[in-house]
């Protein structure tokens, strides 16, 4: 058993190491963490030509991807490298802080990939399987759309996500509200993501949030949602 002094010394060393790692940046932490074989994450390129999305400018789509999405992927790698360095005897707040940031960055990566995968030239509709499920769970395509759009517009002035999710437990599709990256249905598979953070629209629309939601719906592409829904094994 370590003595009180030993334990305090160890904690001080851990805290100092944490501060040093933070000060030295990701590269050192990643080098040190290589021994535990970190998975690492590669940012994906935009899955479309940003000049071709109706209603959303190339400028905002590239900024959203390069600054917010790539930033989250980069941050996730740096956080994971620090998590593996953390002494199990470190104070709880260090675990709470790092693991919370890890969850934020990981879900930011996943939800942004779903957001970009949900955009295209618009004008289409879901495939037969997903269409049938939407009609079953929402009453009609229009009722799904009306609810999804109303949820997006209701988030104006705040931020968050509107997500079309499949829940195996509920056995149905759910339009889900989320105030930040950490709130997603625990067993959900994301089908459609609408990003309601200001960085997703302010450059193009200013405070006209409703116009952004309408533009997003005009560019909505169902191909990725159809593929993801088929993978759920539902229906």
Interacting residues with Fe ion (CB under 5 A)? 68, 195, 197, 200
> For the chain, how are helix, strand and coil distributed in percent, rounded to 5?
60, 10, 30
Compute the least distance from the CB of residue 210 to Fe ion, in Å.
18
Compute the least distance from the CB of residue 44 to Fe ion, in Å.
14
> For residue 37, what are its two tokens?
């074989």
Compute the least distance from the CB of residue 37 to Fe ion, in Å.
30
Residue nearest to Fe ion (CB): 195
Backbone CA torsion sign across 145, 149, 152, 155 = negative
Report the candidate in 215, 212, 145, 207 with the shortest Cα–Cα distance to residue 173. 145
For residues 165 and 154, give the distance between their C-alpha atoms in angstroms, rounded to a whole number: 19
Residue 33 or 109: the one with the smaller Cβ distance to Fe ion is 109
By residue count, the chain amounts to: 235
Residue 90 or 178: the one with the smaller Cβ distance to Fe ion is 178
Residue 138 or 205: the one with the smaller Cβ distance to Fe ion is 205
Residue 80 or 195: the one with the smaller Cβ distance to Fe ion is 195
For residues 213 and 210, give the distance between their C-alpha atoms in angstroms, rounded to a whole number: 5
Compute the least distance from the CB of residue 53 to Fe ion, in Å.
15
Compute the least distance from the CB of residue 142 to Fe ion, in Å.
27
Residue 29 or 163: the one with the smaller Cβ distance to Fe ion is 163
For residues 43 and 131, give the distance between their C-alpha atoms in angstroms, rounded to a whole number: 31
């Amino acid at each position: 058993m370590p003595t009180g002094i030993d334990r305090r010394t160890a904690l001080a060393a851990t805290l100092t190491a944490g501060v040093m790692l933070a000060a030295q940046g990701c590269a050192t932490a990643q080098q040190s963490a290589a021994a535990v074989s970190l998975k690492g994450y590669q940012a994906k390129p935009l899955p479309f030509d940003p000049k071709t999305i109706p209603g959303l400018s190339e400028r905002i789509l590239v900024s959203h991807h390069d600054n917010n999405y790539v930033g989250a992927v980069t941050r996730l790698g740096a956080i994971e490298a620090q998590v593996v360095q953390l002494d199990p005897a470190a104070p709880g707040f260090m675990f709470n802080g790092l693991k919370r940031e890890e969850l934020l960055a990981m879900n930011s990566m996943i939800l942004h990939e779903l957001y970009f995968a949900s955009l295209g030239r618009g004008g289409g509709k879901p495939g037969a399987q997903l269409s049938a499920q939407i009609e079953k769970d929402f009453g009609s395509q229009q009722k799904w759309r009306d609810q999804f759009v109303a949820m997006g517009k209701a988030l104006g002035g705040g931020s968050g996500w509107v997500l079309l999710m499949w829940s195996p437990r509920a056995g149905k599709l759910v339009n889900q509200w989320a105030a930040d990256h950490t709130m997603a249905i625990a067993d959900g598979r994301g089908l459609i993501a609408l990003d309601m953070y200001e960085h997703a629209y302010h450059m193009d629309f200013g405070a006209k949030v409703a116009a952004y939601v309408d533009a997003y719906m005009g560019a909505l592409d169902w191909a990725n949602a159809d593929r993801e829904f088929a993978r759920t094994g539902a229906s």
